[in-house]
């Protein structure tokens, strides 16, 4: 049901746009807009500024496909990164998650999605050609496919694997198993079966 518009057009437009953010519906967008207007100096002004700066400065890294204020991005232009290891992720959010984990000091390549024929997403819609060019041009030792363990993610991983088969590079993927802190009782059978099959010596 379309909500009756009761605030002025400027406020309604702000609410409408906020409602497009993931995690905010029409009701919470209204609360957010009101919160912003009430905290004008502490929140609305700085947020408007931060967004203006984002509009102006943030772009896609032409090398790896992540978002940053410089091109090539801070990661691609960091000399301390191991240039022989390339981690392939679906999305920038996954790159950030891996960086937060801080477990690897490698370079990245962001595909920008997964193959999904039903949604009309084919290889040409992903940042795939650039990945293959990179793998051919750079002297890589290992390509880690850190792609989500979903059906689409795994299909995409297999496709990428095939595309890289002619190159002399190790292609690996993340281990499947019990999440750290996870309880067996809450895990699905697929994960448990994988964790058993890939068991390691204690």
Which residues are at the interface with a copy of itself (CB under 8 A)? Answer: 3-4, 6-8, 10-11, 13-14, 17-18, 20-24, 28, 30-32, 34-40, 43-48, 50-55, 57-58, 67-70, 74, 91-93, 95-96, 99-100, 102
Least Å from the CB of residue 185 to a copy of itself? 25
Least Å from the CB of residue 11 to a copy of itself? 7
Task: Give every CB contact of residue 89 below 8 A, 6+ residues apart in sequence.
Answer: 95, 98, 108, 109, 110, 111, 146, 147
Q: b/e map of 7-28 (b: 16 or more CB within 10 Å)? A: eeeebeebbeebbeeeebeeee
Residue appearing with tokens 């232009």:
77
Q: Which is nearer to a copy of itself, 22 or 79 (CB)?
A: 22
Q: Which is nearer to a copy of itself, 81 or 158 (CB)?
A: 81
Q: Which is nearer to a copy of itself, 69 or 150 (CB)?
A: 69
Least Å from the CB of residue 43 to a copy of itself? 6
Cis peptide before 198 (omega within 30 of 0): no
Least Å from the CB of residue 1 to a copy of itself? 11
Residue appearing with tokens 């905010």:
24
Q: Which is nearer to a copy of itself, 101 or 165 (CB)?
A: 101
Q: Are the C-beta atoms of residues 178 and 191 closer than 8 Å to each other?
A: yes
Q: Which is nearer to a copy of itself, 67 or 187 (CB)?
A: 67
Please, is 179 exposed, middle or buried when counting C-beta atoms within 10 Å of its C-beta (0-12, 13-18, 19+)?
exposed
Least Å from the CB of residue 139 to a copy of itself? 26
């Amino acid at each position: 049901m379309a909500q009756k518009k009761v605030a002025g057009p400027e406020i309604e437009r702000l609410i409408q746009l906020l409602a497009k953010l993931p995690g905010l519906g029409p009701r919470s967008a209204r609360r957010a807009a009101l919160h912003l207007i009430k905290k004008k100096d502490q929140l609305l002004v700085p947020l408007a500024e931060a967004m203006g700066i984002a509009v102006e400065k943030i772009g896609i890294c032409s090398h790896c496909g992540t978002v940053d204020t410089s091109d090539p991005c801070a990661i691609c232009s960091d000399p301390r990164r191991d240039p022989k290891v390339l981690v392939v992720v679906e999305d920038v959010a996954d790159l950030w998650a891996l960086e937060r984990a801080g477990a690897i000091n490698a370079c990245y390549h962001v595909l920008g999605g997964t193959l999904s024929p039903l949604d009309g997403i084919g290889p040409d819609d992903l940042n795939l050609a650039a990945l293959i060019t990179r793998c051919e041009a750079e002297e890589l030792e290992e390509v880690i496919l850190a792609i989500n363990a979903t059906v689409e993610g795994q299909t995409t991983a297999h496709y990428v694997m095939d595309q890289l088969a002619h190159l002399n590079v190790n292609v690996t993927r993340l281990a499947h198993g019990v999440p750290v802190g996870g309880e067996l009782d809450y895990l699905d059978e697929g994960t448990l079966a994988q964790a058993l099959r890939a068991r390691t010596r204690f």
